[in-house]
Amino acid sequence: MTMATDAPKDGFRLSMLIYDTRYRSYTIQIVVLVLFALAVAWLLNNTVQNLAARGKEFNFGFLWQRAGYDIGQQLIPYNNDDNHFRALLVGLLNTLVVAFFGCIFATVLGVIVGVLRLSRNWLVSRLMTVYVEMFRNVPLLLWILLSYVILSETTPAPRDFRVTDEMVAAGQEPAASMMFFDSVAVTNRGTNIPAPLFERGLGTLDLGFMTLNLNFWAVVVVIAASVFVNRRILSHARATQESTGVRPVTWWKSILVLFAPVIVLLIAMGFHLEIPSLKGFNFQGGILVAHSFTALLIALTLYTAAFIAEIVRAGIQAISRGQSEAAFALGLRPNRTMSLIILPQALRVIIPPLISQYLNLTKNTSLGIAVSYLDLRGTLGGITLNQTGRELECMLLMMLIYLSISLMISAAMNMYNKSVQLKAR
Amino acid sequence: MAESFTRSEMLPPLPPPVTERGAIKWMRENLFSTPLNIALTVLGALVVYWLIAAALPWWLNSVWNASSLGECRQIVEANAGPGATGACWAMIRERWHQFLFGFYPPPEWWRPILAFGLLFAALAPVLFAGQKRNLTIVLGGVLVYLVVTLYLAGAPALPFALSLVLIVGMLALAQIQPGRLLWFTLLYPALCFWLLWGGSVWSPIVAMAGFAILYAVFRLASPLIGLAPAAGAGIVVAVVWWLYLDKTVVDLLQGVLPFGLQSINSDQFGGFLLAIVIGVTGITFSLPIGILLALGRQSDMLIVKSLSVGFIEFVRGVPLITLLFTASLLLQYFLPPGTNFDIILRVIILVTFFAAAYLAEVIRGGLAALPRGQYEAADALGLDYWRAQRLIILPQALKISIPAIVSTFIGLFKDTTLVAFVGLMDPLKGVTQIVRADINWKGIYWEPYIFVGVIFFVICFGMSRYSMYLERKLKTDHR
């Protein structure tokens, strides 16, 4: 005869903390928490002792002291009389601008390479495979250093662009010439590109803590408004199509709305390009883009594009053949099959790893240290840190900023991912 | 008699038209099928031609014997005419040892060489578990490598003979009981540490004895107080051994039996020696930490889970450079006043944590990809948490995530170049800068970067190929 044995009722024993699954997880968590608290306390105690031994204290007051160093590339006005916080902002913007352009270029190149690698053209797909494997298996630092060295050691000096009267008389060509209709000059000191200027500009607006370049913001606002109006036109067209079955012609409206306002604004403000030209020993006018920026951008783009190409390839291959066959059976043309059937599904596979590539690229901008690019790490974590001797504050602040950038990018991209993700019911 | 015009035998089939067979058909299909394809082919051919036209003469004019870049250029111009360019590999010939060993003293080069050979002997039992044939091939290769390189490096007779005896012994063991070879893998870290940094032979032995003590305490105490407390007691005793008794015992033994190798300082390490030391150590230790973090993140326990999430997201959110700077600048604040430990060790610890956080996410993906039924089946069999993980969940989850794990390893190995920024001499920035700063080789850039790049490529490409092999070998589904 079998008897059901009840759980022992003789109350709580100490050993149940380890052997009873009802209590064990609490025991483990409390032990972990205590150990963690002890470790934190130990670290804090050490830090306090070390700071005291060095006669330092933990505060961020140094951010408001005069920085006293120059930064080559500045997107907002800065000179060496400004404080360290201003230098931090300049560095942060330098980080963001490389990351921004790097993400765009790497995506474009990566998508092209990824699609070409799947091409049935033997030669092209092999070339793309070589490119991808070459860039994926060699450290990014090598590409940064190599592009910087090539840019700064093989490009001609500004004097090589000089055309003298004797040379014209003798029919000689100068040793180097400018590119893109004589508007861009690559010299060993940097790349000279044309600068956008406004004859009747709106000037700047001083807000006290920062100054706004009104010309720039006017263009941005007009473009944003045009895009918004264009979206309204398209959604109206879609609504008309759904209710009547006839889609109104929109292409000329879109072109008009997208381009006319910007062109009118630019003409009204007297927009023209200032072309750099050789004066004396150097190029004057235009904008001088430092090689550290160009090299970092080129290397980050080429390196990340190789990874993005693999992601795109995997995404397209993940869509089963049946999908495109079904689309053809429905009578869709190949390009509409691509845009309506394949791409929306491939995007779901592509976007999550793409987000992490964007994050990697952003974090990799910190390798600008190799070519002395003054980004966030170069200003706050470099010169400011060395000048003020505040390692703890600078490093913590820098990590915090990088962490918030990463979290913001991944939050934004995750939101986008949610919008294209399959709606599971 | 009427003639029959009915054919009685089959005609031999005609060959397909010229355009539908052989190379022409292949080219029509693969290179010139559509106008777009033709354009792409022409473009691709132009790119290939341009690359070859630019690089081939440079390769063909290579100079191997010269003492400076200027001399190289003179030789090239003398051979190939004025204005010709040529590679100057003479720089590699003169400086290869710095790229490989940094400033490691030349008479001791046999030590990293031996350690590198034994690395493969230690890896083989893990990579090719129990496969007699592959094990024999790898160990035989190691034997040949050691005979040649140790002879070239002029290794002293005793270690030369000992290492050959060791490998021959392992070869013999591989034929009888290949599983036993794992013991060498376990002992290898201490051996490698001693070979590279030198010092008394007793310090690795005494350090390893700590693990033996841990195990002994665990075995003796577990019948008395249960598994978990016994493990805790073992760890406590081992930590006490390492912290307080280790140094005394080593000094005592060294006094009785003085035997050791010349000590090498960490700042003499450099080049690929440094990259491989950091890379291999990081890879070895990041995997178990990554698995624990991934399990922690999947755990039901709120505190364990939030600590794991916090750690993973923090480490993944900041660039590796900031962590390396933490190792070089901030650890002095976080540790008790007066402690100062080796910079290579500090960097290894931070690199390991960095890779572990990435691995944790990769493994979490594998864990999440397993069907719930596997977890439920393990529970239904009455397995406890660790047995379920070890026998059912992890083998499958790790198998799914092999490609991603290996690409994390490749990333870690490439990231070892970043240690240049905390003052260590990595092959890429550290050594190349020293070479390029030399007055003889000023202005050289393709050659060092190609040399370093090719070595990195070979190692990383090899790792990715191995992961593909592993994926094929472990594939058990029938798709």
Query: Does the residue B6 lie in any domain?
Result: no
Helices (H), B177-201: 182-197
For residue B472, give both structure tokens: 């094929």
3-state secondary structure of B421: helix
Query: Does the residue A378 lie in any domain?
Result: yes
- Do residue B466 and residue B353 come from a single domain? yes
- Do residue B310 and residue B168 come from a single domain? no
Count of beta carbons in the 10 Å neighbourhood of residue A420 = 12
The phi, psi pair for B200, rounded to 5°, reads -70, 145
- Do residue B81 and residue B161 come from a single domain? no
Query: Does the residue B123 lie in any domain?
Result: yes
Closest CA to B226 of A310, A26, A20, A169: A20
- Residue numbers in A near B336 (CB within 8 A): 46, 49
What is the identity of the amino acid at A394? Answer: C
Q: How far B186 CA lies from chain A's nearest CA (Å)?
A: 29
- Do residue B180 and residue B312 come from a single domain? no
Cβ A137–B417 below 8 Å, yes or no?
no
Query: Does the residue B46 lie in any domain?
Result: yes
- Do residue A160 and residue A185 come from a single domain? yes
The CA distance from A31 to A23, in Å, is 12
The CA distance from A116 to B43, in Å, is 13
Question: Could you tell me which residues are beta bridge partners of residue A211?
Answer: A206
Cβ A369–B421 below 8 Å, yes or no?
yes
- Percent of chain A at pLDDT > 90 equals 25
Query: Does the residue A268 lie in any domain?
Result: yes
For A311-339, what is the mean pLDDT? 87
Residue A143 pLDDT grade (very low, low, confident, very high; cuts 50, 70, 90): very high
What is the identity of the amino acid at B59? Answer: W
Query: Does the residue A59 lie in any domain?
Result: no
Q: Collect all residues with Cβ–Cβ distance below 8 Å to A407 and sequence separation of at least 6.
A: B313, B317
Q: Collect all residues with Cβ–Cβ distance below 8 Å to A141 and sequence separation of at least 6.
A: A367, A370, B417, B418, B420, B428, B429
C-alpha dihedral (A50, A54, A56, A62), degrees to nearest 10: -110
Q: How far A127 CA lies from chain B's nearest CA (Å)?
A: 8
- Do residue B361 and residue B475 come from a single domain? yes
Helices (H), A286-390: 291-317, 321-329, 334-337, 343-364, 376-378, 385-388
Which of A46, A51, A369 minimises the CB distance to B336? A46
- Do residue B183 and residue B325 come from a single domain? no
Cβ B31–A122 below 8 Å, yes or no?
yes
- Do residue A247 and residue A117 come from a single domain? no
Model pLDDT, residue A1: 46
C-alpha distances (whole Å) from B2 to each of B6, B7, B338, B421 are 12, 15, 119, 100
DSSP letters along B294-322, please? Answer: HHHHH-S-HHHHHHHHHHHHHHHHS-HHH
Query: Does the residue B208 lie in any domain?
Result: no
Given A273, A288, A316, the domain boundary residue is: A273
- Do residue A214 and residue A279 come from a single domain? no
- Do residue B411 and residue B275 come from a single domain? yes
For residue B56, give both structure tokens: 């081939």
C-beta separation of A230 from A254 below 8 A:
yes
Looking up tokens 């392992």, which residue turns up?
B170
The CA distance from A257 to B145, in Å, is 71
Radius of gyration of chain B (CA): 29
Radius of gyration of chain A (CA): 30
Is the minimum CB–CB distance between A134 and chain B shorter than 8 Å?
A: yes
- Do residue A295 and residue A405 come from a single domain? yes
The phi, psi pair for B12, rounded to 5°, reads -65, 140
- Do residue A251 and residue A264 come from a single domain? yes
Closest CA to B458 of B323, B197, B275, B256: B275
Query: Does the residue A36 lie in any domain?
Result: no
Model pLDDT, residue B2: 61
C-beta separation of B366 from B400 below 8 A:
yes
Residue pLDDT, tens place only, A32-91:
899 999 999 998 998 888 888 888 888 888 888 888 888 887 777 788 788 888 888 889
Given A246, A273, A300, the domain boundary residue is: A273
Cβ B226–A140 below 8 Å, yes or no?
no
- Residue numbers in B near A392 (CB within 8 A): 330, 333
> Can you say how many angstroms the Cα of residue B168 is from the centroid of all Cα atoms in its chain?
25
Residue B24 pLDDT grade (very low, low, confident, very high; cuts 50, 70, 90): confident
- Residue numbers in B near A28 (CB within 8 A): 301, 304
Residue A404 pLDDT grade (very low, low, confident, very high; cuts 50, 70, 90): very high
Query: Does the residue A329 lie in any domain?
Result: yes
C-beta separation of B361 from B456 below 8 A:
no
- Which of 79-108 (A) contact B at CB < 8 A? none
Cβ B336–A49 below 8 Å, yes or no?
yes
Given B198, B232, B255, the domain boundary residue is: B198
| CA torsion through residues A93, A96, A98, A104, sign | negative
- Residue numbers in A near B322 (CB within 8 A): 366, 377, 381, 395, 398-399, 402
C-alpha dihedral (B210, B217, B292, B422), degrees to nearest 10: -20
Model pLDDT, residue A40: 92
- Do residue A281 and residue A354 come from a single domain? yes
Cβ B333–A47 below 8 Å, yes or no?
yes
Pairing of strands A190-193, A287-289: antiparallel
- Do residue B66 and residue B138 come from a single domain? no
Given a cut of 90, whether residue A386 has pLDDT beyond it is no
> Can you say how many angstroms the Cα of residue B296 is from the centroid of all Cα atoms in its chain?
26
Cβ A367–B321 below 8 Å, yes or no?
yes
For B225-246, what is the mean pLDDT? 81
> Can you say how many angstroms the Cα of residue A280 is from the centroid of all Cα atoms in its chain?
37
Given B146, B178, B198, the domain boundary residue is: B198
- Do residue A261 and residue A113 come from a single domain? no
C-beta separation of A348 from A357 below 8 A:
no
Which residue in A has a C-alpha nearest to residue B361's C-alpha?
A356
Query: Does the residue A185 lie in any domain?
Result: yes
Q: How far B448 CA lies from chain A's nearest CA (Å)?
A: 10
Residue pLDDT, tens place only, A288-304:
888 899 999 999 999 99
Highest mean pLDDT among A157-171, A356-370, B65-79, B212-226: A356-370
Tally the C-alpha atoms within 13 A of residue A105's C-alpha that lie toward its C-beta. 17
The CA distance from A26 to B304, in Å, is 11
Query: Does the residue B25 lie in any domain?
Result: no
Query: Does the residue A72 lie in any domain?
Result: no
- Do residue B330 and residue B182 come from a single domain? no
C-beta separation of A148 from A291 below 8 A:
yes
Residue pLDDT, tens place only, A179-189:
777 777 787 78
Mean pLDDT rounded to a whole number for chain A: 84
Number of domains composing chain B:
3
The CA distance from B72 to B406, in Å, is 41
By residue range, what is the domain housing residue B394? 264-479
C-alpha distances (whole Å) from A165 to each of A162, A169, A170 are 10, 6, 9
- Do residue B355 and residue B276 come from a single domain? yes
C-beta separation of A294 from A191 below 8 A:
yes
- Do residue A152 and residue A241 come from a single domain? no
| CATH code at position A143 | 1.10.3720.10
What is the ipTM for the molecules in this complex? 0.86
Q: How far B5 CA lies from chain A's nearest CA (Å)?
A: 49
Which of A123, A133, A395 minimises the CB distance to B41? A123
Is the minimum CB–CB distance between A20 and chain B shorter than 8 Å?
A: no
Given a cut of 60, whether residue A8 has pLDDT beyond it is no
The CA distance from B60 to A146, in Å, is 22
- Do residue A90 and residue A187 come from a single domain? yes
Distance separating the N- and C-terminal Cα atoms of chain A = 50
Model pLDDT, residue A299: 95
C-beta separation of B352 from B286 below 8 A:
yes
Residue pLDDT, tens place only, B111-161:
899 999 999 888 888 887 767 888 888 889 999 998 898 888 888 888 888
- Residue numbers in A near B318 (CB within 8 A): 363, 399, 402-403, 406
Tally the C-alpha atoms within 13 A of residue B367's C-alpha that lie toward its C-beta. 21
Number of domains composing chain A:
2
By residue range, what is the domain housing residue A310? 84-194+275-420
Query: Does the residue B347 lie in any domain?
Result: yes
B203 vs B165 pLDDT, higher one: B165
Closest CA to B100 of B268, B271, B280: B271
Given B152, B175, B198, the domain boundary residue is: B198
Query: Does the residue A233 lie in any domain?
Result: yes
Cβ A146–B445 below 8 Å, yes or no?
yes
For residue B444, give both structure tokens: 């050289």
Residue pLDDT, tens place only, A258-281:
888 888 888 887 777 777 777 777
Cβ A391–B329 below 8 Å, yes or no?
yes
- Do residue B431 and residue B307 come from a single domain? yes
- Do residue A314 and residue A401 come from a single domain? yes
- Do residue A295 and residue A323 come from a single domain? yes
Cβ A395–B322 below 8 Å, yes or no?
yes
- Do residue B378 and residue B459 come from a single domain? yes
C-alpha distances (whole Å) from B98 to each of A70, A118, B154, B397, B421 are 36, 42, 18, 42, 18
Given a cut of 90, whether residue A308 has pLDDT beyond it is yes
The CA distance from A63 to A393, in Å, is 10
Query: Does the residue B226 lie in any domain?
Result: no
C-beta separation of A367 from A296 below 8 A:
yes
Q: How far A281 CA lies from chain B's nearest CA (Å)?
A: 23
C-beta separation of A97 from A82 below 8 A:
no
Query: Does the residue B229 lie in any domain?
Result: no
Q: How far B185 CA lies from chain A's nearest CA (Å)?
A: 27
Closest CA to B179 of B225, B138, B125, B134: B125
DSSP letters along A290-320, please? Answer: -HHHHHHHHHHHHHHHHHHHHHHHHHHHTS-
Classify residue A390 by burial, with Cβ atoms within 10 Å: 0-12, 13-18, 19+: buried
The CA distance from A323 to A315, in Å, is 14
For residue B305, give both structure tokens: 């889970």
Distance separating the N- and C-terminal Cα atoms of chain B = 66
Residue B290 pLDDT grade (very low, low, confident, very high; cuts 50, 70, 90): very high
Given a cut of 80, whether residue B263 has pLDDT beyond it is yes
| CATH code at position B419 | 1.10.3720.10
The CA distance from A68 to A84, in Å, is 8
- Percent of chain B at pLDDT > 70 equals 98
Given A223, A258, A273, the domain boundary residue is: A273
- Do residue A261 and residue A133 come from a single domain? no
For A376-402, what is the mean pLDDT? 88
